[in-house]
């Protein structure tokens, strides 16, 4: 760039004025930040309520960092034994770890300490909940398709990190409930073949519970996991900007444009405002509702446990998997113990989680679709995927429900054995039923969409024609309304064909079988010709207005 | 909008506000669209009708509504200021009084509500501002294929080639392979360091033994008071720890293995297997309290059925049948502690458990 153009570029900043202009100029001359503003300042973000789920996750994470930092100033991640001498009388004189002691100190002796603890815990729950819902939104709208498969995977990593953060944080106060949680983790690890005993021994720094685990979890909780989380979150955001946000089908919206509001000012105001709303709602909940009242549980002791013990809800699916194993699963080979009651649920969870992580790649392989997809699917328009999602949700929900099997039994006055056995069957049959029902519902909705697109919707107005025939008037959609119903991707099952060497490979067969499973039942989108004909002579029953016009001729 | 190439939206342009031209189909073809795979590409698809007409908001057409919305936004921001000040006032006015739990609740509630108002005022105000007063119509921006431009990609490939040529990493295989070997090995010392996470001793041994030994008295948890056989009435259950546990420095580690449940049944209700005939004392039996599933304390005793229930994962053990598993995920019975009485009538252990207590582990039989 010549100096003349530079002069021109900077001159307006100086003229336009005052302190802001000068400051902006100062910064730009040292950072060329104007390029970033030019690139991103008017970037378009599409609007839909479901796009805010990811935002909720992001903002609650900010809240977690803010409150968590406050908590670190007071929390002592030590298992050194102290005698409680704080202002909560029922625990006075009781021996506990410094971790528990300092958590009580934060809750009862520091003004606003309890509030910060509760904001931190509620925000963490919201963080994980919103990540889960965000993932479901992405899944059911197919927003993980090319070019976003990698970002799905990064998001998945964020989800796992969030679970890790949740569990490590939950265990820090060293109270009875979280201590039992750690006890379960210890038992779980010990049950793993070959390495289990050693991993447990190294993790706890000797025998369970030892004096090391709280300090170690603390390092993970406030340093290692957040550092990875922030890095992955950064990558997630950068890819979001590079890929641009998906949008739902709508008139004027195409795979090649983004329709929405610009970052400056509308999106910034909405998103910035939304951050304060999320923060405000979390603080409101934290000021009204108690969460994790460790003072009622008391310090950790390996001997007592309260009935109705269960983990924070987001770990529930893992705890539920442990509960659903039937008795006597396991065997010995020589001196070695294979604890299938541990190995089986761990494997089930790993497979389930791996399917979630790799689903985009599996679907991409089946469809062979290498195009970029920026229009979010309506779930009904991908019936098999939606049905798989429903099956997955059901599977997760049963595991999750199983974590409260004892409470279900006591609250509904059922036998615990009955509840468990029912859940065991539901774990297998529930997803199958959910799959079949969801697929039928999707296909039904697609048929209905097709019908409405072609023939309009029933207006409830009955008209008698001159010939004596009664018909119900169908109101036609406008082109704008119809577009949403007719614009979707549709796939045909893959035909098995020999490759260049005249062979049909096993991979090809698998792919064809999967493709058949996915796309066998297929409702094609309405074509222009069909639409044209639906308004033509054949469509007398379809629409009253053209039909009446026809008769008048 | 218009066909690509007619130049309505140039990529560098500021995003064009939509709703200006309506009813035109929008179709833009990508240069690198990629294979559609098994997708059915519509040749006869319905045309995108283009943007619907834009309807102005009430605040766009009615200056009164506009002024009202403006007022509302500023009131919300003022409310936020009120909330923040209130929060600080509450912090000062409602301190925590020692020994008064109510003061903690008040402090938590009022401080929290003040902060809530401070945050929600800003949040709702900003969103209200954006929705009612900022420009209301939608804008359009073009997407571009994510893959880099051809020349960019070519240059990237070329750079890698140059890197390869100039370093010779592809050509000089001895250097390359020795480097890979070195890189693979360097993290291993770091991994080795993690052995220090646990003491140098063997992890298996402590899992096989507990504090119980011949003659150790059974004492109450947590007081440590010894238990006389005559104290254990029919149908009662005791939470038990070994005598001397409370003086141990590694109290929790020992307790995590040595915790025991003590119950008295009618001797005829017990089904005693061979070799265990003298492990109970007149119907008094002691079983490890640590669940063989994943180690929770099996704390719930059902007096009528003589079943023990683990509250964590609902494994159930039948005490009349030597704590065998009758339901739930556990796969081994709770180990039995052989007991008898000493000369003073106090319950004592005959020995340690005859098998490891607690959850399964790989080397359990070693």
CB–CB contact A342 B294 (8 Å): yes
Q: How far apart are CA B258 and CA A63, in angstroms?
A: 43
Pair B118, B219 in one domain: no
Q: Is residue A218 part of a domain?
A: yes
Contacts of A107 in chain B (CB under 8 A): 104
Which one, of A200, A182, A208, A212, lies nearest residue A99 by Cα?
Answer: A212
Pair B85, B138 in one domain: yes
Pair A62, A26 in one domain: no
State whether residue B237 is helix, strand or coil.
strand
Confidence of residue A15 (pLDDT cuts 50, 70, 90): low
Interface test with A, best of B4, B35, B39 (most A CBs within 10 A): B39
Which segment of A185-194, A233-242, B81-90, B135-144 scores lowest on mean pLDDT? B135-144
A482 lies within 8 A of chain B by CB: yes
Q: Would you say residue A16 has pLDDT above 80?
A: no
Query: Residue A533: its pLDDT value, please?
Result: 86
Pair A383, A469 in one domain: no
Which segment of A225-229, A532-536, B112-116, B305-309 scores lowest on mean pLDDT? A532-536
Q: How far apart are CA A51 and CA A240, in angstroms?
A: 12
Interface test with A, best of B22, B132, B293, B364 (most A CBs within 10 A): B293
Nearest to A273 among B115, B122, B142 (CB): B122
How do residues A38-56 score in pLDDT, each as one tens digit?
A: 999 999 999 999 999 999 9
Q: Would you say residue A13 has pLDDT above 90?
A: no
Which one, of A76, A508, A107, lies nearest residue B107 by Cα?
Answer: A107
Match 């669940």 to its residue by tokens.
B291
**How far A330 CA lies from chain B's nearest CA (Å)?**
7
Query: Residue A141: its pLDDT value, please?
Result: 97
Q: Tens-of-pLDDT digits for all 366 residues of chain B?
A: 333 333 333 333 444 444 334 444 444 444 456 888 889 888 888 989 999 998 999 999 999 999 999 999 999 999 999 999 999 999 999 999 887 889 999 999 999 999 999 999 999 999 999 999 998 888 999 999 999 999 999 999 999 999 999 999 999 999 999 999 999 999 999 999 999 999 999 999 999 999 999 999 999 998 999 999 999 999 889 999 999 999 999 999 999 999 999 999 999 999 999 999 999 999 999 999 999 999 999 989 998 999 999 999 999 999 999 999 999 999 999 999 999 999 999 999 999 999 999 999 999 987
The sign of the dihedral angle between the CA atoms of A296, A301, A307, A308 is positive
Q: How far apart are CA B237 and CA B221, in angstroms?
A: 12
Query: Residue A540: its pLDDT value, please?
Result: 41
Interface test with B, best of A283, A318, A375, A408 (most B CBs within 10 A): A283
**Which residue would you say has higher pLDDT here, B137 or A438?**
A438
How do residues A246-289 score in pLDDT, each as one tens digit?
A: 999 999 999 999 999 999 999 999 999 999 999 999 999 999 99
Q: Name the closest residue on chain A to residue B193, using Cα atoms.
A: A202
Q: Would you say residue A543 has pLDDT above 80?
A: no
Q: How far apart are CA A385 and CA A514, in angstroms?
A: 12
Contacts of B330 in chain A (CB under 8 A): 327, 341
Contacts of A203 in chain B (CB under 8 A): 197
Pair A389, A491 in one domain: no
Q: Is residue B265 part of a domain?
A: yes
How do residues A79-97 score in pLDDT, each as one tens digit?
A: 999 999 988 999 999 999 9
Pair B88, B180 in one domain: no
Nearest to A323 among B50, B325, B329 (CB): B329
Over residues A487-513, mean pLDDT: 89
Q: What is the DSSP string of B254-306?
A: HHHHH-EEEEE--GGG--PPTT-TTSSBTTEEEEE-B-TTT--B--EEETTTT
Pairing label, strands A257-262, B336-337: unpaired
Q: Name the closest residue on chain B to residue A284, using Cα atoms.
A: B116
Pair A448, A547 in one domain: no
Give B142's contacts (C-beta < 8 A, 6+ positions apart): A256, A257, A258, B9, B11, B28
Pair B225, B312 in one domain: yes
Confidence of residue A545 (pLDDT cuts 50, 70, 90): very low
From B164, B195, B226, the end of a domain falls on B195
CATH at residue A356: 1.20.810.10
Confidence of residue A549 (pLDDT cuts 50, 70, 90): very low
Contacts of B40 in chain A (CB under 8 A): 490-492, 524
Q: What is the DSSP string of A253-318?
A: --TTEEEEEEIIIIIHHHHHHHHHHHHHHHHHHHHHS----HHHH-B--SS---TT----GGGHHH
Query: Residue B2: its pLDDT value, please?
Result: 34
Confidence of residue A17 (pLDDT cuts 50, 70, 90): confident
Contacts of B223 in chain A (CB under 8 A): none
Q: Would you say residue A14 has pLDDT above 80?
A: no
CB–CB contact B239 A146 (8 Å): no
Confidence of residue A534 (pLDDT cuts 50, 70, 90): confident
**How far A187 CA lies from chain B's nearest CA (Å)?**
4
A359 lies within 8 A of chain B by CB: no
Query: Residue A522: its pLDDT value, please?
Result: 87
User: What is the phi/psi pair of residue B351, to 5°?
Assistant: -170, -175
Q: Name the closest residue on chain A to residue B250, using Cα atoms.
A: A210
**How far A340 CA lies from chain B's nearest CA (Å)?**
9
Query: Residue A536: its pLDDT value, please?
Result: 52
ipTM, 2 dp: 0.90
Domain membership of residue B217 as a residue range: 209-349
Q: How far apart are CA B119 and CA A279, in angstroms?
A: 7
Query: Residue B86: its pLDDT value, please?
Result: 98
Pair B136, B159 in one domain: no
Interface test with B, best of A40, A303, A478 (most B CBs within 10 A): A303
Nearest to B44 among A274, A416, A529 (CB): A529
Nearest to B112 among A283, A328, A479 (CB): A283
Angle at A393 between CA A316 and CA A512, to 5 degrees: 135
Give B254's contacts (C-beta < 8 A, 6+ positions apart): B210, B211, B242, B245, B248
Match 């959910």 to its residue by tokens.
A434
Residues 442-471 of A with CB under 8 A from B: none
Beta bridge partners of B256: none
**Which residue would you say has higher pLDDT here, A547 or A169?**
A169
Average pLDDT, chain A: 91
The sign of the dihedral angle between the CA atoms of B249, B250, B256, B262 is negative
A219 lies within 8 A of chain B by CB: no
Q: How far apart are CA B178 and CA A382, in angstroms?
A: 51
Both ends of chain B: CA-CA distance in Å?
77
Q: Are B117 and B83 in contact (CB under 8 A)?
A: yes
Query: Residue B8: its pLDDT value, please?
Result: 35
Other Cβ atoms less than 10 A from the Cβ of B5: the count is 8
Q: How far apart are CA A519 and CA A515, in angstroms?
A: 6
Contacts of A515 in chain B (CB under 8 A): 38
CATH at residue B303: 2.102.10.10
The reported pTM is: 0.91
Beta bridge partners of B286: B262, B337
Considering its fold, how many domains does chain B have in total? Answer: 3
Q: How far apart are CA A4 and CA A7, in angstroms?
A: 5
Nearest to B198 among A115, A202, A417 (CB): A202
Pair A166, A222 in one domain: yes
Q: Is residue B354 part of a domain?
A: no
Over residues A173-202, mean pLDDT: 95
Q: Is residue A325 part of a domain?
A: no
**Token output for A437:** 């029902």
Query: Residue B335: its pLDDT value, please?
Result: 96
B39-to-A150, A510, A517, B47 alpha-carbon distances in Å: 22, 18, 15, 18
Pair A65, A188 in one domain: yes
Pair A126, A143 in one domain: yes
Q: How far apart are CA A165 and CA A428, in angstroms?
A: 30
Q: How far apart are CA A548 and CA A23, in angstroms?
A: 71
Query: Residue A309: its pLDDT value, please?
Result: 82
Pair B79, B125 in one domain: yes
Contacts of A337 in chain B (CB under 8 A): 360-365
Pair A312, A171 in one domain: yes
Domain membership of residue A490 as a residue range: 453-552
Confidence of residue A298 (pLDDT cuts 50, 70, 90): very high
Please name the helix (run of DSSP H) or strand (run of DSSP E) that holds residue A459, with its range, or none. strand A457-464
**Token output for B174:** 């001895």
Considering its fold, how many domains does chain A have in total? Answer: 4
Other Cβ atoms less than 10 A from the Cβ of A89: the count is 11
Pair A176, A271 in one domain: yes
A–B interface: beta-carbon pairs under 8 A: 410
């Amino acid at each position: 760039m010549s100096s003349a153009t530079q002069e021109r570029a900077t001159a307006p900043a100086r003229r336009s004025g005052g302190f802001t202009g000068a400051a902006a100029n100062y910064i730009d001359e040292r950072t060329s930040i104007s390029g970033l503003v030019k690139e991103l300042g008017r970037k378009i973000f599409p609007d839909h309520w479901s796009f805010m789920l990811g935002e909720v996750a992001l903002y609650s994470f900010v809240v977690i960092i803010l409150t968590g930092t406050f908590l670190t100033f007071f929390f002592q991640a030590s298992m050194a034994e102290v005698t409680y001498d704080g202002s909560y009388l029922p625990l006075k004189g009781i021996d506990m770890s410094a971790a528990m002691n300092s958590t009580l100190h934060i809750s009862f002796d520091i003004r606003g300490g309890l509030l910060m603890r509760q904001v931190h815990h509620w925000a963490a729950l919201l963080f994980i909940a919103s990540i889960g819902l965000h993932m479901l939104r992405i899944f059911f709208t197919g927003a993980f398709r090319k070019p976003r498969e990698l970002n799905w995977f990064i998001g998945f990593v964020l989800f796992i990190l969030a679970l890790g953060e949740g569990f490590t944080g939950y265990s820090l106060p060293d109270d009875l409930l979280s201590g039992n949680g750690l006890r379960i983790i210890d038992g779980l690890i010990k049950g793993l073949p070959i390495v289990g005993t050693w991993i447990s021994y190294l993790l706890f720094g000797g025998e369970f519970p030892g004096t090391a685990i709280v300090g170690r979890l603390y390092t993970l909780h406030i340093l290692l996991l957040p550092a990875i989380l922030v890095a992955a979150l950064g990558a997630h955001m950068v890819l979001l900007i590079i890929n641009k946000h998906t949008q739902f089908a709508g008139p004027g919206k195409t795979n090649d444009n983004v329709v929405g509001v610009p970052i400056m000012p509308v999106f910034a105001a909405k998103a910035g405002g939304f951050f304060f709303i999320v923060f405000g709602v979390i603080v409101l909940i934290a000021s009204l509702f108690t969460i994790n009242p460790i003072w009622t549980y008391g310090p950790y002791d390996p001997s007592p446990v309260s009935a109705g013990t269960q983990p924070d809800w987001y770990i529930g699916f893992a705890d539920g998997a442990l509960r659903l194993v039937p008795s006597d699963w396991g065997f010995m080979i020589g001196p070695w113990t294979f604890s299938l009651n541990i190995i089986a649920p761990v494997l089930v969870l790993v497979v389930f989680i791996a399917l979630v992580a790799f689903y985009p790649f599996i679907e991409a392989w089946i469809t062979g679709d290498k195009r970029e997809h920026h229009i979010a699917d309506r779930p009904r328009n991908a019936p098999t995927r939606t049905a798989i999602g429903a099956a997955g949700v059901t599977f997760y929900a049963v595991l999750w429900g199983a974590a409260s099997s004892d409470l279900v039994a006591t609250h509904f006055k059922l036998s615990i054995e009955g509840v468990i056995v029912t859940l065991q069957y539901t774990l297998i049959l529930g997803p199958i039923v959910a799959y079949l029902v969801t697929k039928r519902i999707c296909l039904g909705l697609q048929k209905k969409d097709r019908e409405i697109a072609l023939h309009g919707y029933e207006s409830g107005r009955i008209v008698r024609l001159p010939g004596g025939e009664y018909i119900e008037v169908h109101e036609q959609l406008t082109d704008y309304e119809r577009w949403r119903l007719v614009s979707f991707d549709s796939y045909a099952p893959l035909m098995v064909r020999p490759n260049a060497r005249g062979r049909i490979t096993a991979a090809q067969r698998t792919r064809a079988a999967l493709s058949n499973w996915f796309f066998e039942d297929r409702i094609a989108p309405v074509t222009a010709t069909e639409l044209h004909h639906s308004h033509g002579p054949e469509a007398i029953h379809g629409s009253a207005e053209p039909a009446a016009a026809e008769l008048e001729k | 909008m218009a066909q690509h190439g007619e130049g309505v939206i140039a990529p560098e342009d500021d995003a064009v506000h939509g709703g200006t031209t309506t009813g035109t189909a929008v179709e833009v073809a990508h240069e690198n669209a990629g294979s559609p795979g098994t997708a059915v590409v519509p040749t006869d698809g319905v045309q995108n009708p283009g943007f619907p007409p834009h309807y102005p908001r009430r605040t766009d057409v009615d200056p009164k509504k506009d002024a009202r919305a403006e007022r509302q936004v500023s009131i919300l921001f003022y409310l936020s200021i009120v909330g923040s000040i209130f929060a600080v006032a509450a912090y000062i006015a409602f301190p925590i009084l020692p020994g008064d739990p109510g003061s903690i609740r008040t402090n938590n509630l009022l401080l929290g509500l003040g902060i809530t108002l401070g945050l929600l005022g800003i949040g709702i105000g900003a969103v209200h501002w954006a929705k009612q007063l900022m420009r209301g119509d939608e804008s359009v921006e073009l997407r571009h294929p994510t893959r880099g431009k051809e020349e960019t990609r070519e240059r990237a490939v070329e750079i890698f080639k140059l890197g390869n040529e100039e370093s010779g990493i592809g050509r000089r295989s001895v250097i390359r392979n020795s480097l890979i070997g070195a890189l693979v090995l360097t993290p291993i010392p770091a991994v080795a360091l993690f052995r220090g996470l646990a003491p140098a001793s063997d992890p298996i041994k402590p899992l096989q033994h507990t504090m119980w030994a011949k003659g150790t008295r059974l004492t109450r948890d947590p007081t440590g008071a010894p238990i006389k056989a005559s104290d254990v009435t029919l149908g009662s259950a005791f939470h038990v720890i070994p005598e001397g546990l409370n003086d141990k420095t590694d109290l929790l580690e020992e307790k995590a293995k040595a915790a025991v449940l003590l119950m008295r049944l009618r001797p005829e209700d017990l089904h005693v297997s061979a070799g265990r005939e003298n492990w109970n004392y007149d119907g008094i039996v002691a079983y490890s309290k640590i669940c063989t599933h994943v180690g929770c304390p099996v704390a719930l005793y059902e007096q009528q059925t003589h079943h023990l229930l683990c509250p964590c994962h609902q494994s159930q053990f039948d005490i009349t049948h030597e704590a065998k598993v009758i339901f739930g995920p556990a796969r081994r019975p709770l180990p039995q502690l052989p007991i008898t009485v000493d000369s003073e009538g106090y319950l004592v252990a005959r020995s340690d458990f005859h098998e490891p207590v607690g959850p399964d582990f790989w080397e359990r039989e070693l």
